[in-house]
Structure 1
Amino acid sequence: MQIFPKDNICLAQVCQSKNEAITLAGQILVRNHYVVNAYVEDMLLREADVSTYIGNNVAIPHGLVTSEDKILASGISLVQVPAGVEFDGERVYLVFGIAGKNNEHLAILGKIAQVCSDLRNIELLSHTQSKDEILTLFQEVI
């Protein structure tokens, strides 16, 4: 199973709240069989405890330390919000949902952070209408 296939990308979304954006990112993971539905609740619980905003208009919501049994396979989802959604006073345009089986989430986080550290990539990812263009950016790291 691919970690980040085209079906895991949702472009041009409008989200009224960070919880709505996190839920959408989690539902993509559920729909594509990376996690069970209860994992989405864990993503929301994690966000209530600690913000998953990482800078550069990017958030990476994920589950709790105790979520391992709710993860079926490692995967990444991406929700693009071109108008942005507020995460604790910060504007977020890219919401990456992640699920890492066997502690793979740290490596996945690092790979996303690597791509998102370049502001040119953020600009492209925030506004492209091409899933293929997004996957091209990530093909070397994921």
Structure 2
Amino acid sequence: MEVQKNLIRLNQNFETKEEAIEFCGELLVSGGHVTAEYVPAMIQRNKDLSVYMGNFIAIPHGTDDAKKEVLKTGIAIVQVPRGVNFGTDNNPKVATVLFGIAGVGNEHLDLIQKISIFCADVDNVVKLADAQTVDEVAGYFAE
């Protein structure tokens, strides 16, 4: 899984899950991975089915209809130390690491699988959440 350092952001803070998803989407747009039309589809995807995956991670990505907006496969990694709630006030689901993804064809399934395997170990999520540099985050995925 190739991680581009220009798509990693540390110490971010968001009031809402929509704001967090939009930020991930804008990183993918600025990196040339998707068109701007992909971003609203990421928000819609979360409305249709939560992108919260457990273990303090969320994987925002677009709807199937938005596949045509994907220019090349990419992944944005966003650290949110205070967390952002992908659940409700009564049933919070707090994510401290966000993986905004876009995949050509079915490559997004491969990305989700690799992220899920890495983050199944909560210690790995803690490492990402505590990382102090972009190089440190990128290094966890270079191994």
TM range (shorter): over 0.9
Instruction: Give the Cα separation in 2 of the matches to 1:79 and 1:70.
Output: 21
The answer to whether the Cα contact below 8 Å between 2:2 and 2:142 also exists between their aligned partners in 1 is: no
How big is the shift at 1:124?
A: 1.0
Instruction: Give the Cα separation in 2 of the matches to 1:125 and 1:37.
Output: 27
The answer to whether the Cα contact below 8 Å between 1:86 and 1:92 also exists between their aligned partners in 2 is: yes
Aligned partner letter, 1:10:
R
Aligned partner letter, 1:15:
F
TM-score by length of structure 1 reads 0.94
Instruction: Give the Cα separation in 2 of the matches to 1:31 and 1:5.
Output: 12
SS of structure 1 residue aligned to 2:105: helix
Partner deviation per Cα, 1:4-62 (whole Å, 9 max, x = no partner): 21000010001001001100000000001000001000000001111011110000010
* 1:117 correspondence with 2:120: yes
The answer to whether the Cα contact below 8 Å between 2:26 and 2:36 also exists between their aligned partners in 1 is: yes
Report how many aligned residue pairs link the two structures.
139
Aligned partner letter, 1:100:
G
* 1:47 correspondence with 2:46: yes
TM-score by length of structure 2 reads 0.94
SS of structure 2 residue aligned to 1:13: coil
The answer to whether the Cα contact below 8 Å between 2:35 and 2:70 also exists between their aligned partners in 1 is: yes
Give unmatched runs, 5+ long, in structure 2. none
The answer to whether the Cα contact below 8 Å between 2:2 and 2:141 also exists between their aligned partners in 1 is: no
Match of 2:31 in 1: 32
SS of structure 2 residue aligned to 1:102: coil
Note closer, same or farther for the CA distance 1:74–1:101 as it changes in structure 2 (3 Å cut): same
SS of structure 2 residue aligned to 1:26: helix
Match of 2:70 in 1: 71
Instruction: Give the Cα separation in 2 of the matches to 1:95 and 1:124.
Output: 14
Aligned partner letter, 2:120:
S
How big is the shift at 1:63?
A: 0.5
Give unmatched runs, 5+ long, in structure 1. none
Match of 1:104 in 2: 107
What is the alpha-carbon root mean square deviation over aligned residues?
1.1
Partner deviation per Cα, 1:53-78 (whole Å, 9 max, x = no partner): 11100000100111111000000001
Instruction: Give the Cα separation in 2 of the matches to 1:73 and 1:32.
Output: 10
Match of 1:80 in 2: 79
